[in-house]
Chain A
Amino acid sequence: MMSSMHFRFSRSEMSLREKLWHVSWSFVLLVATVCTVGFLTLYSAANGNLEPWAVRQMMRFLVGLTVMLAVAMVDIRMWMRWAYALYVVALVLLAAVEIRGSVGMGAQRWIDLGFIQLQPSEIMKITLVLALARYFHGASYQDVGRPLFLLPPLVMVFAPVGFVLKQPDLGTAMMLTLGSGAMFFLAGVRLWKFAVILISGAAAVPVAWQFMREYQRQRIITFLNPENDPLGAGYHILQSKIALGSGGMFGKGFMLGTQSHLNFLPEKQTDFIFTMLAEEWGMVGGVFLLGLYVLILVYGYAMSLRSRNQFGRLVGLGLTTTFFLYVFINIAMVMGLVPVVGVPLPLISYGGTAMLTLLFGFGLILSVHIHRDIHIGRRGATDDV
């Protein structure tokens, strides 16, 4: 068959230059803006010093930006072709750290690559989306309606979730589960099935309670009533609420956040960075940052939905949802709406792995956008319609 049968538009074989032309630079600028907010906040967290956080975060951003653009350049069909393979690699790595951890290295969740500590659970956030998108790419509405058809993707989800839970990393498990759920939903899984799962999930809570470790139970109890133990387990949430609440509408001013600078606020440069930002910039600052995040989400949606292939749409929306989960869980966590589960604030919190994961994800979304007009057949790139 002729290649023109595979692809309706000549854009299928774009040059690098063309691809760069099609990159949504306004989206890149938006991401860079959010990261800049992060640099400023880290600068303040270090009491007006670029060291030790802001500078390193900038370096990571530069690395991440390069990675993002490189990922964006890669043809979407290539990603689809490698989706399962990447997923398996990630799963093996996840199993590897788990086994090594249980052998006696402690709760080490990463593989040290020298310049960066690679966390398989982070890689999994992306590869799971790719794998699920690949699975659902060729599925018709009727296919998705068959329960047996849903079994393989469920295994794909629960294998990594099991490993992550065992680490135990409640936050990542939550993100993987919820993100995958969103993809099932987008793929057309019937709504009543979600209802069944929700109801049986609620029924399973008492059972799950039995299997939880003491500290996990403690976290949930503390979450439900942080004032119970203000100097112990509830300390983080309470101090976070105090810092946030005392910031008021307009905040205490840049670098003037008393709670964070006097170290009452724990983890101010990582998981609780939103609290510090909201203490110094007030509700106005918090809403402004949320606005930026919403813009990113809107871009994500727009770019994904404009794709003419199901894989691209699913990847784009899945990654956007992952990004949303970062935002929501972190902010809800520091405001005492969900338990403290250790999810960083995307693009702002200090830390290389999350930054890299996110920018990699944005690279994929850009790739989806650049290759939006490529039509991919049901069985993959080589398949015809």
Chain B
Amino acid sequence: MNHDNDRSKIIGRRAILLGGGKLALLSALVGRMYYLQVLESSKYAVLAEENRINLRLLPPPRGRILDRNGVPMAVNQQNYRVLIVSEQTEDLDDTLDSLSNIIPINDHDRARIAREAKRHRSFVPVTVRENLSWQDVSRIEINTPDLPGVMIDVGQSRNYPLEGLGAHLLGYVSAVSEPDLQSSSDPLLELPGFRIGKAGVERVYDLALRGKGGTSQVEVNAVGRTIRELKRDEGEPGLDLNLTIDLELQQFAAQRLGTESAAAVVIDVHTGDLLVMASTPSFDPNAFNRGLSPDEWKDLIANPRAPLTNKTIAGQYPPGSTFKVMTALAALESGSITPEQRVFCPGQMNLGNISFHCWKKGGHGSVDLIAGIKHSCDVYFYEVARRTGFERIAEMAKRFGLGAPMGLDLPGERPGTIPNKDWKRAMLNQPWHPGETLINAIGQGYVLATPLQLAVMCARVANGGFAVAPHLARDIVDGVRSVPRPSPEWPSLGVSRQSLSLVRKGMFAVCNEPGGTAFGARIKDESLAMSGKSGSAQVRRITVREREGGVKKNEELPWKERDHALFIAYAPESEPRYACCVTVEHGGGGSAVAAPMARDILIEVQKRYPVRTARLPEDGIPVLHPQGHDGHDHEPHDHGDHG
């Protein structure tokens, strides 16, 4: 009995100790609860919200690209897709079998669907097919009761309804690349399937066209399944972008260039609006969005006529005789010649022991400035260049926009080349030879220019010597907004009206006086008449022997050795409004091939946007008040609304 009492005491004592320890431990739990649920509660509340709420990005619709009159050039197409959610099907294969009775699903697709369905969680939809026709969509919709887990989804994809027309300007959109991701913090880029502008206007104005992504706050569970949407912010759709291009004119020009490897540019000489920028042959930008097959890609890059190149800005050609306009202006401005001074052309000019030939065998005889331009007499310009020096000619050419990118709102502009002594020293480490002055003065040798540069050069001659610059976007786009372009105030190039007037008289003679190189391609309607200058840029060396036996005609040569045909012109002659440059690679003679194209394009432009002729000053050059041409009621913009 005794020892039981002892043990009873011991166990009682120890039970109290043990119980006390347990209470202490339970108090520790209460303390921990207090710490987590009261002291740290707000921290965990935030973490819980983050856990629960998932921010999803909503891609904004990409802005459309329109021509100056609002005709769509790049649009978004609804892309109907059929999706399948494997957890909602009773059996994925059975459902696909039923679905394949409605739309064909090949084995390759099947394998892909099975693979994707396995990889993702069972509630994630898997794309069965994209770009369904409306007919397919409605047939699937009708059969939905028999197709558990099948659903139709509408996405958007970029579409260029004009296919090849304007493809070089528009560029294309394509999937986001790794460098794109690194250079931008826009979360939109991380959306699967998101596409951004990779070339052309799509690239330059990508930010504006892209818009701002919306967000959708959804409540999700731990495995990412959406429970419900809590909040939605639609974001901002991309900006619709108007170009200065007139689609009808663009189409006309492209058709007129035909199958040639050629470029045509039409620019408003006062505003710098580019109405036409055509480069042939072209390509279908839709193919880039869709994804090119390796064969298609090979064909595109192997084509000698370079369909992917925008020749208006990336094609650099020797300007040939069109460059004589610069040589003449430089000579007149420097005073090295007077318009009346005559040069005798016997068909060639000797400098040292080298002969420099005129394009006309036998020569032009006695030639003054106007005749020199009219007949494009090489010997006359050799002599003028010899007296003026190429440094001055180069300086004039640069003033008129050659030798440097124009700063157009389009990527891929090439600078061309206007050489001089320093340039040759830097590039070739050779001294400048006097003979090179002669060759470069007629737009051969080192001189290179893009069709756009030549068009702008012509426009600056036509507008009275103002530094008009080209642009493609009708409005000024700043980031994601656009404001109407203010009336331009182009700085003067500092060329005298007198010199310009003389050169323009020469250009008038080229087209409108019998014997002018492009007389055959003149515009017969006087109110629409153009002035211009032809150029045939030699791309091969003519040997002495060939010259003795008679220079081969272009038609006798393989395509790659034929001359480039160039023509620059402005119209209407009485009050110049539009400048044009046509360049045909290996087209042959400028006056024979390029001039008729330029003529037809300029007629079409003036028909579409007529210029009301006003009374002109004596010298034939309209007085340009940069702000003042609001008064011209023939602004293309105005007419656009009616067109």
> Which residues does A use to contact B, with CB under 8 Å?
140-141, 182, 185-188, 239, 241-249, 258-259, 262-265, 278, 282-283, 286-287, 290, 293-294, 297, 301, 304-305, 310, 313-314, 317, 321, 324, 327-328, 331-332, 335, 337, 385
B541 on the interface (CB 8 Å rule)? no
B41 on the interface (CB 8 Å rule)? yes
Q: Using Cβ atoms and an 8 Å threshold, which residues of chain A touch B34? A: 283
Residue A310 contacts which of B4, B14, B17, B221 (CB distance < 8 angstroms)? B4
Is there contact, CB below 8 Å, between B18 and A182?
yes
Is there contact, CB below 8 Å, between A283 and B33?
yes
Is there contact, CB below 8 Å, between B30 and A287?
yes
Residue A140 contacts which of B1, B3, B38, B227 (CB distance < 8 angstroms)? B3
Q: Using Cβ atoms and an 8 Å threshold, which residues of chain A touch B12? A: 305
B111 on the interface (CB 8 Å rule)? no
Q: How far is the CB of A374 from chain B (nearest CB, A)?
A: 13
Q: Using Cβ atoms and an 8 Å threshold, which residues of chain A touch B22? A: 297, 321, 324, 328
Is there contact, CB below 8 Å, between B7 and A242?
no
B36 on the interface (CB 8 Å rule)? yes
Q: Using Cβ atoms and an 8 Å threshold, which residues of chain B touch A263? A: 221-223
Q: Using Cβ atoms and an 8 Å threshold, which residues of chain B touch A248? A: 37-38, 41, 45
Q: Using Cβ atoms and an 8 Å threshold, which residues of chain B touch A264? A: 51-52, 221-222
User: 17 A–B contact pairs at CB < 8 A?
Assistant: A185-B14, A241-B44, A245-B40, A245-B45, A245-B48, A248-B41, A258-B48, A263-B222, A264-B221, A278-B37, A282-B37, A283-B38, A310-B4, A310-B8, A317-B11, A321-B22, A328-B29
Is there contact, CB below 8 Å, between A294 and B23?
yes
Residue B18 contacts which of A278, A282, A321 (CB distance < 8 angstroms)? A321
CB within 8 Å for A304 and B15 given contacts A249-B41, A335-B36: yes
Most A CB contacts (10 A, CB to CB) among B26, B41, B47, B220 go to B26
Q: Using Cβ atoms and an 8 Å threshold, which residues of chain B touch A258? A: 48, 52
Chain A residue at minimum C-beta to C-beta distance from B17: A185
* Chain B 373-397 residues near chain A, CB threshold 8 A: none
Q: Using Cβ atoms and an 8 Å threshold, which residues of chain A touch B29? A: 290, 328, 331-332, 335, 337
B110 on the interface (CB 8 Å rule)? no
B43 on the interface (CB 8 Å rule)? yes
Q: Using Cβ atoms and an 8 Å threshold, which residues of chain A touch B223? A: 263
Q: A241-B36, A245-B45, A283-B38 are in contact. List 7 more A-B contacts (CB 8 A).
A: A141-B6, A246-B45, A258-B52, A262-B222, A278-B33, A317-B15, A328-B26
Kindly state the separation between the CA atoms of A258 and B219 in the bound complex, as whole angstroms: 10
Kindly state the separation between the CA atoms of A245 and B36 in the bound complex, as whole angstroms: 5
Chain B residue at minimum C-beta to C-beta distance from A250: B37
Is there contact, CB below 8 Å, between A246 and B41?
yes
Chain B: number of interface residues, binned into ranges: 35 or more
Is there contact, CB below 8 Å, between A310 and B19?
no
Kindly state the separation between the CA atoms of A249 and B35 in the bound complex, as whole angstroms: 10
Kindly state the separation between the CA atoms of A278 and B45 in the bound complex, as whole angstroms: 13
Kindly state the separation between the CA atoms of A226 and B379 in the bound complex, as whole angstroms: 89
B560 on the interface (CB 8 Å rule)? no
Kindly state the separation between the CA atoms of A186 and B15 in the bound complex, as whole angstroms: 6
Kindly state the separation between the CA atoms of A327 and B27 in the bound complex, as whole angstroms: 12
Q: How far is the CB of B30 from chain A (nearest CB, A)?
A: 6
Is there contact, CB below 8 Å, between A310 and B33?
no
Kindly state the separation between the CA atoms of A293 and B33 in the bound complex, as whole angstroms: 16
Q: Using Cβ atoms and an 8 Å threshold, which residues of chain A touch B408? A: none
Is there contact, CB below 8 Å, between B11 and A186?
yes
Is there contact, CB below 8 Å, between B14 and A262?
no
* Chain B 178-235 residues near chain A, CB threshold 8 A: 219-223, 227
Kindly state the separation between the CA atoms of A38 and B7 in the bound complex, as whole angstroms: 38
Is there contact, CB below 8 Å, between A244 and B221?
no
Is there contact, CB below 8 Å, between A262 and B219?
yes
CB within 8 Å for A242 and B44 given contacts A263-B221, A294-B23: yes
Residue A245 contacts which of B17, B37, B220, B221 (CB distance < 8 angstroms)? B37
B25 on the interface (CB 8 Å rule)? yes
Chain A residue at minimum C-beta to C-beta distance from B52: A258
Kindly state the separation between the CA atoms of A286 and B29 in the bound complex, as whole angstroms: 10
Residue B220 contacts which of A241, A249, A262, A321 (CB distance < 8 angstroms)? A262
Kindly state the separation between the CA atoms of A346 and B36 in the bound complex, as whole angstroms: 22
Q: How far is the CB of B71 from chain A (nearest CB, A)?
A: 51
Most A CB contacts (10 A, CB to CB) among B37, B43, B227 go to B37
Q: How far is the CB of B28 from chain A (nearest CB, A)?
A: 8
Is there contact, CB below 8 Å, between B47 and A246?
yes
Q: How far is the CB of A364 from chain B (nearest CB, A)?
A: 17
Most B CB contacts (10 A, CB to CB) among A262, A286, A327 go to A262
Q: Using Cβ atoms and an 8 Å threshold, which residues of chain B touch A294? A: 23, 26
Q: How far is the CB of B618 from chain A (nearest CB, A)?
A: 85
Kindly state the separation between the CA atoms of A314 and B32 in the bound complex, as whole angstroms: 31
Is there contact, CB below 8 Å, between B32 and A140?
no
Is there contact, CB below 8 Å, between A186 and B18?
yes
Is there contact, CB below 8 Å, between A262 and B37?
no
Q: How far is the CB of B231 from chain A (nearest CB, A)?
A: 16
CB within 8 Å for A246 and B19 given contacts A262-B221, A287-B33, A290-B30: no
Is there contact, CB below 8 Å, between B19 and A297?
yes
Q: Using Cβ atoms and an 8 Å threshold, which residues of chain A touch B623? A: none
Kindly state the separation between the CA atoms of A246 and B50 in the bound complex, as whole angstroms: 11
B292 on the interface (CB 8 Å rule)? no
Kindly state the separation between the CA atoms of A166 and B634 in the bound complex, as whole angstroms: 96
Is there contact, CB below 8 Å, between B227 and A262?
yes
Q: How far is the CB of A309 from chain B (nearest CB, A)?
A: 8
Q: How far is the CB of A117 from chain B (nearest CB, A)?
A: 28
B154 on the interface (CB 8 Å rule)? no
Residue A244 contacts which of B6, B19, B23, B36 (CB distance < 8 angstroms)? B36
B10 on the interface (CB 8 Å rule)? yes
Q: Using Cβ atoms and an 8 Å threshold, which residues of chain B touch A324? A: 22
Q: How far is the CB of A36 from chain B (nearest CB, A)?
A: 21
Chain A residue at minimum C-beta to C-beta distance from B6: A141
Residue A243 contacts which of B14, B26, B48 (CB distance < 8 angstroms)? B48
Q: Using Cβ atoms and an 8 Å threshold, which residues of chain B touch A287? A: 30, 33
Chain B residue at minimum C-beta to C-beta distance from A283: B37
CB within 8 Å for A188 and B33 given contacts A248-B41, A259-B48, A328-B25: no
Chain A residue at minimum C-beta to C-beta distance from B219: A262
Residue A290 contacts which of B26, B45, B47, B219 (CB distance < 8 angstroms)? B26
Q: How far is the CB of B494 from chain A (nearest CB, A)?
A: 70
3 smallest A-B Cβ distances: which pairs?
A245-B44, A246-B48, A262-B221
Q: Using Cβ atoms and an 8 Å threshold, which residues of chain A touch B18? A: 182, 185-186, 317, 321
Q: How far is the CB of A9 from chain B (nearest CB, A)?
A: 15
Q: How far is the CB of B122 from chain A (nearest CB, A)?
A: 15
Kindly state the separation between the CA atoms of A294 and B23 in the bound complex, as whole angstroms: 8
Chain A residue at minimum C-beta to C-beta distance from B51: A264
Kindly state the separation between the CA atoms of A332 and B221 in the bound complex, as whole angstroms: 26
Q: Using Cβ atoms and an 8 Å threshold, which residues of chain B touch A247? A: 37, 41
CB within 8 Å for A188 and B36 given contacts A248-B45, A324-B22: no
Q: Using Cβ atoms and an 8 Å threshold, which residues of chain A touch B11? A: 186-188, 305, 310, 313-314, 317
Kindly state the separation between the CA atoms of A185 and B40 in the bound complex, as whole angstroms: 38
Q: Using Cβ atoms and an 8 Å threshold, which residues of chain B touch A304? A: 15
Q: How far is the CB of B583 from chain A (nearest CB, A)?
A: 61
Chain A residue at minimum C-beta to C-beta distance from B47: A242
Kindly state the separation between the CA atoms of A241 and B44 in the bound complex, as whole angstroms: 8
Is there contact, CB below 8 Å, between A249 and B26?
no
Is there contact, CB below 8 Å, between A244 and B37?
yes
Q: Using Cβ atoms and an 8 Å threshold, which residues of chain B touch A182? A: 18
Q: Using Cβ atoms and an 8 Å threshold, which residues of chain B touch A332? A: 28-29, 32
Q: How far is the CB of A381 from chain B (nearest CB, A)?
A: 15
Q: How far is the CB of A189 from chain B (nearest CB, A)?
A: 10
Kindly state the separation between the CA atoms of A182 and B17 in the bound complex, as whole angstroms: 11
Q: Using Cβ atoms and an 8 Å threshold, which residues of chain B touch A278? A: 33, 37
Kindly state the separation between the CA atoms of A27 and B77 in the bound complex, as whole angstroms: 73
Q: Using Cβ atoms and an 8 Å threshold, which residues of chain B touch A187? A: 11
CB within 8 Å for A246 and B44 given contacts A185-B18, A262-B227: yes
Chain A residue at minimum C-beta to C-beta distance from B7: A310
Kindly state the separation between the CA atoms of A317 and B16 in the bound complex, as whole angstroms: 11
Q: Using Cβ atoms and an 8 Å threshold, which residues of chain B touch A244? A: 33, 36-37, 44
